[in-house]
Amino acid sequence: MDIADFLSRLSRVHQSGRDRWMARCPAHADRGPSLSIRLAQDGRILLHCFAGCGASDVVEAMGLTLSDLFAQPLYHRAKPVSRVLSPSEALRALAHEAGVVAIAAADIAEGKALSAQDASRVCLAAGRLAAALEVIYGG
C-alpha cells in the first residue's frame, strides 16, 4: 500500500516533517492526533500511537493487515546467500528462521504488537524461507 492511500484512511492528518505525519488513531477514541506515521526509505509505513495502541490494533481498526504497511511483498526483502551451505547447515538455518516466525506468530496470537525491529526481523525470516522454497522447488 502506498502512503497516500494509507493516509487517506485516517482523519485529521497533518504533515509533521519530511515523510512524517500525525493523525487521529483509529484504534481508540482519539480527540487529537496521537498517531505518528513515518515513511521509511524502503517504503515501509511505520506507526507509533502515543496512547499505547499497537500497530496491529491500528491497522485492524482501519480494516487492513500488517502486511499492508509494506510497499513490496515480504519475500522480495531477502538478501541472496553469499555461499553454498551444506545440507545440515541449510536445515539449521531454515529451522532458525522458522523459529523466528513462530515466536512472532505466537506473540501476535496473544495480542502483542511487534516492535518495528521485530517486524523487520520477521520480514527477513519470511524472505529467507521463501527464497529457500524457491531454490528447492524452482520458481
What is the predicted pLDDT for the residue at 119?
A: 86
Cell numbers that stand for 31 in this block: 480527540
Task: Report DSSP state, residue 30.
Answer: -
Q: What is the pTM of this model?
A: 0.53
Q: Please check whether residue 97 is in contact with residue 118, taking contact to mean a CB–CB distance below 8 angstroms.
A: no
3-state secondary structure of 3: helix
C-alpha–C-alpha distance, residues 66 and 59, integer Å: 6
Computed over every residue of the chain, the mean pLDDT equals 86
CATH superfamily entry for domain 1-71:
Zinc finger, CHC2-typedomain (3.90.580.10)
Cell numbers that stand for 104 in this block: 512472532
Minimum mean pLDDT range among 37-41, 47-51, 73-77, 124-128: 73-77
